[in-house]
Every structure is written in C-alpha cells, then in structure tokens.
Amino acid sequence: MALSRDQIAQRVALELQDGYYVNLGIGIPTLVANFVPKGIEVMLQSENGLLGMGAFPTDDDVDADLINAGKQTVTMAKGASIFDSAESFAMIRGGHVDLTVLGAFEVDVNGNIASYMIPGKLIKGMGGAMDLVAGADNIIVTMTHASKHGESKLLTNCTLPLTGRGCIKKVLTDLAFIEIKAGKFHLLERAPGVSVEDIIKLTQGELVVDGDIPEMKFS
C-alpha cells in the first residue's frame, strides 16, 4: 500500500538526530514535526526569521507578529531566537541547517529538482526553496512517486523549470525511499506491501535495485 502523508512524515522523522536544526517546507514536510522520535530534541527553522518554532497557538495566544514561513500563526519553543531575513538566509545559505525537508513536482537522476513553477499554470514564485536546495547538504525531498494519472515524477531529466541543479540525494515517496548517486536512482526501501516491480514501473529514470530491498519501518 502506498504511504499516507502522515506515514511519509513518520519515515522522514526517523532521519532526525538529537540536536538537529531542521527546516521543514510547506505540506507533508510540515507534518514531520508531529513525529519527532521520543528522547530527541530538534529545533525548527522558519525562514521568515524564527529558529525554535513551537506548536500552533491557542485562540488566546494568537499573535499577528508571530508566523511561520507558511504564514500560519505559531508560537516559539523554549530557546527560540528571532532574526531578520538576511540573517535567516545566512543560516540557510551558509550551510548551518542540518536537515532540510521539502516537496517537489519532479526530481531526476542527476539530483535536479523542479518544485516551484508550472509554466502557464502555476507561477507563484520560489520563495526560499532555491536558497534551501542550494545551501543545504542534507536534503530529503518528499512527494508522491507518480501523478494521479500514473506519470512518474522520478525522471531521467526534469521537464519543469528547475529549483536547483544537482542538489538532491534523497527522495522519500509514497512508495519508496530512494538515494541518488552517480546519475542513477538507487532503491533503498519500499513501502510495506509495495513490490519492487511496482516501483520500477513507476520510476522513469534509471533505477538500481541491489539485492533484497527491505520494507520501510516507522519506529
């Protein structure tokens, strides 16, 4: 069975380490915050100028001056700090963030990512995504493996305008956990109940399957 959005987030959360500074993109990546493993502390960076993002506020605590990068009202965690946008992107572009999780439309075998624009259809802008993919070393892309029409999103070459070139090494889809190296996709794990054949069928770019591929675990 393909993973739910929550299950994708849960699997990503296993990649967190104690003491990590983490930037979570909008959508599935945001859900990762709900599955931080017990006994581990992470600090969430929000690129509008907050390190140490807390839970959503109660009605009484809503503060128009305190939002996250998705423009949602939030609170501050213990030990939080506030800074301006240039400083925020100094953290990101300077490689100080330990893990970045973000969504995408397409990823290809060379680690290119397209996530911000569908010409003629969706032109909203890249926000901080180009800075995040260029600045971070440790990035996990979360997305569905294929479109609703069964078209693969893991390609030989991205077809949409790129967000970044050669910067993605790990992709977690609703079917598989995949590593990108030396111009190929490598299958690391498969979603429970999903066969290697199913994954091969829905992966357009070259996929290396080396030996037995384990099923994903979530804790």
Partner 1 sequence: MSGFDKVVHSYEEAMSGLTDNMTIIAGGFGLCGIPENLISEIKRKGTRGLTLISNNCGVDDFGLGLLLPDRQIKKIIASYVGENAEFERQMMSGELNVELTPQGTLAEKMRAGGAGIPAFYTATGVGTLVAEGKDERQFKGRDYILEESITADFAIVKAWKADRYGNLVFRKTARNFNPMAATAGKITVVEVEEIVEPGQLDPDEIHTSGIYVNRLIQSTFEKRIEQRTTRPSGE
Just list the catalytic residues.
47
Q: Does 207 bind partner 1 (CB under 8 A)?
A: no
- In angstroms, rounded to a whole number, what is the distance separating the alpha carbons of residues 21 and 48? 15
Reduced to 3 states (helix: H, G, I; strand: E, B; else coil), residue 215 is strand
- In angstroms, rounded to a whole number, what is the distance separating the alpha carbons of residues 142 and 4? 12
With CB under 8 A as the rule, give the number of residues binding partner 1: 52
Reduced to 3 states (helix: H, G, I; strand: E, B; else coil), residue 32 is helix
- In angstroms, rounded to a whole number, what is the distance separating the alpha carbons of residues 152 and 145? 6
The closest alpha carbon to 80, from 34, 45, 36, belongs to: 45
Given 1, 19, 34, 63, the residue binding partner 1 (CB under 8 A): 63
Q: Does 108 bind partner 1 (CB under 8 A)?
A: no
Q: Does 49 bind partner 1 (CB under 8 A)?
A: yes
Q: Residue 136 carries which side chain, given as an amino acid letter?
A: A
Given 161, 196, 198, 209, the residue binding partner 1 (CB under 8 A): 161
Least gap, CB of 144 to partner 1 (angstroms): 21
Structure tokens at 125: 């802008």
Site string for partner 1, 9-48 (x = CB under 8 A): -------------------------------------xxx
Q: Does 118 bind partner 1 (CB under 8 A)?
A: no
Given 20, 166, 186, 188, the residue binding partner 1 (CB under 8 A): 166
∠ CA 26-31-32 to the nearest 5 degrees? 105
Cβ closest to partner 1, residue 70 vs residue 103: 70
Q: Where are the beta strands (DSSP E) in 115-183?
A: 117-118, 122-123, 139-143, 154-155, 170-173, 176-181
Given 2, 5, 27, 89, the residue binding partner 1 (CB under 8 A): 89
Q: Does 213 bind partner 1 (CB under 8 A)?
A: no
Q: Does 112 bind partner 1 (CB under 8 A)?
A: yes
Given 29, 52, 135, 205, the residue binding partner 1 (CB under 8 A): 135
CA atoms lying within 13 Å on the CB side of residue 79: 8
Number of residues in the chain: 219
Binding site for partner 1 (CB under 8 A): 46-50, 55-60, 62-68, 70-74, 76, 82-86, 88-89, 92-93, 112, 117, 123-131, 134-135, 161-166
